[in-house]
Amino acid sequence: MNSPHKIGFVSLGCPKATSDSEQIITRLRAEGYDIVPQYDQADAVIINTCGFIDSAVQESMQTIDEALHENGRVIVTGCLGAKAEQVAEEFPDLLAITGPHATEDVMQAVHQALPPQHDPFMDLVPKQGVRLTPRHYAYLKISEGCNHRCSFCIIPQFRGDLVSRPIDDVMQEAQNLVNAGVRELLVISQDTSAYGVDVKYQTHFWQGQPLQTRFVELARALGQFGVWVRLHYVYPYPHVDQVIPLMAEGLVLPYLDIPFQHASPKILKAMKRPGSQEKVLERIQNWREQCPDLVIRSTFIVGFPGETEEDFQMLLDFLSQARLDRVGCFMYSPVEGAPANDLPDPVDEDTKQDRYDRFMRHQQAISREKLQQRIGQSLQVLVEEPFENGWVGRSYADAPDIDGLVYIQTQQTLQPGQFVDVAIQHSDEYDLYGEIDE
């Protein structure tokens, strides 16, 4: 029998890209292709690229260049594929370029380059598919695309309008993942709270029970699995309020990843984002009253065109009042094709950098204070991996890769994916430190 074709796979970008990569790798493994970790062992290389901001484009281009030098047979997919002409101009020898979420196109390119050697045996692949994440957590993608048109973003241009997956499919995937040992499901999409809008909240049946394709119904249904369920990329619609009681009940983690992007009404309007600062603060207060453990993660953009010192100050004031737990900040950078590029009054680079630094200092102080309040508490922690004096893990307040960690000092041998209670003894700006709470 011929030895299987070998594919090198590089996955860049956000969790949504990771989820696309998982689907492609699942198909490759199902069809008998081997995945190898070195360029020089591979018969061809697939690169799933990111094109969200300039630095991501640069990283993607460098990776393509490297793969072409080291291997020579390269298929490009992902967000950068939306700029196919530009990529082809720079790298005319690529085998194929496809856009994001294009598993079929990638497989076609693979078949052309390396024809399949035998029929697929789907049962060679585990039911939950092939995952790039550790065994104990998994991303669960519930939809593609987005109906919004935020002026700084080109995602809808290449991922299209919202397309929700049928809720019974999503539930089946979640069930398979939980059966395979996943302890944390991370719900992702471009716009999680819009789930089902495109299909008019169509009803499907899951294990004999009717279920509407709707954000809150999905959150409740996932909560029945008894694992951690974490909601990412929740657009601040009013109906988000309905998920807070589920958090208070313990059905889903009291963790809300909700990008506010700014606090100045003028800038939010220019971004084509909703929001009045007072209303948002009122809602946050209301959420916290209903669910005191709630942790809120958000992202912001500083240096957006037209942002004055007064607008920026409004943002700092908002941070002081909202006291968000986890905050990411980006300096605005124009993305080719984004409507915001045409806005007047760009902010100069020095001012952007200065505002970014001030923003980070401001939020760091808040974050440090908030984490100090954890000292003396006992937190349930999902163990990740060993580190020098023990193990490192995450509490409900920490999503993988983007939030902080809990360092557990212990001589005990723990297992990745195990839950332990940790008595918190120290903290800094981002992380917590403690010992096992016996």
Name the residues that contact ligand SF4, by CB under 6 A. 146, 148-150, 153, 155-156, 190-191, 235
Of 29 and 141, the one with the shorter C-beta distance to ligand SF4 is 141
Of 225 and 233, the one with the shorter C-beta distance to ligand SF4 is 233
Rounded to the nearest whole angstrom, what is the least distance from the CB of residue 237 to ligand SF4 in the complex? 11
Rounded to the nearest whole angstrom, what is the least distance from the CB of residue 319 to ligand SF4 in the complex? 20
| Among candidate residues 203, 212, 211, 268, the one with its CA nearest the CA of residue 235 | 268
Of 134 and 156, the one with the shorter C-beta distance to ligand SF4 is 156
- Cβ neighbours for 172, distance < 8 A, ≥ 6 positions apart: 206
Q: What are all long-range contacts of 116-119, with beta carbons under 8 Å and residues at least 24 apart?
A: 116/31, 116/32, 116/33, 117/2, 117/4, 117/5, 117/32, 118/32
Of 29 and 101, the one with the shorter C-beta distance to ligand SF4 is 101
Of 91 and 330, the one with the shorter C-beta distance to ligand SF4 is 330
Note whether 259 and 233 are within 8 A (CB).
yes
| DSSP states of 77-120 | EEGGGGGHHHHHHH-TT-SEE--SS-HHHHHHHHHHHS--SS--
Rounded to the nearest whole angstrom, what is the least distance from the CB of residue 275 to ligand SF4 in the complex? 12
Alpha-carbon distance of 262 to 161, in angstroms, equals 24
Rounded to the nearest whole angstrom, what is the least distance from the CB of residue 101 to ligand SF4 in the complex? 13
Residue 13: both structure tokens together: 């970008």
- Cα 94 → chain centroid: 28
Residue 342: both structure tokens together: 């045409």
Residue 345 DSSP class: S
Residue 122 DSSP class: G
Of 199 and 392, the one with the shorter C-beta distance to ligand SF4 is 199
Backbone phi, psi, residue 257, to 5°: -100, 105
Rounded to the nearest whole angstrom, what is the least distance from the CB of residue 102 to ligand SF4 in the complex? 18
Alpha-carbon distance of 117 to 233, in angstroms, equals 40
Rounded to the nearest whole angstrom, what is the least distance from the CB of residue 213 to ligand SF4 in the complex? 19
Rounded to the nearest whole angstrom, what is the least distance from the CB of residue 127 to ligand SF4 in the complex? 30
Note whether 35 and 28 are within 8 A (CB).
yes
Of 157 and 389, the one with the shorter C-beta distance to ligand SF4 is 157
Of 330 and 430, the one with the shorter C-beta distance to ligand SF4 is 330
Rounded to the nearest whole angstrom, what is the least distance from the CB of residue 258 to ligand SF4 in the complex? 11
Rounded to the nearest whole angstrom, what is the least distance from the CB of residue 174 to ligand SF4 in the complex? 23
- Cα 294 → chain centroid: 19
Alpha-carbon distance of 133 to 263, in angstroms, equals 34
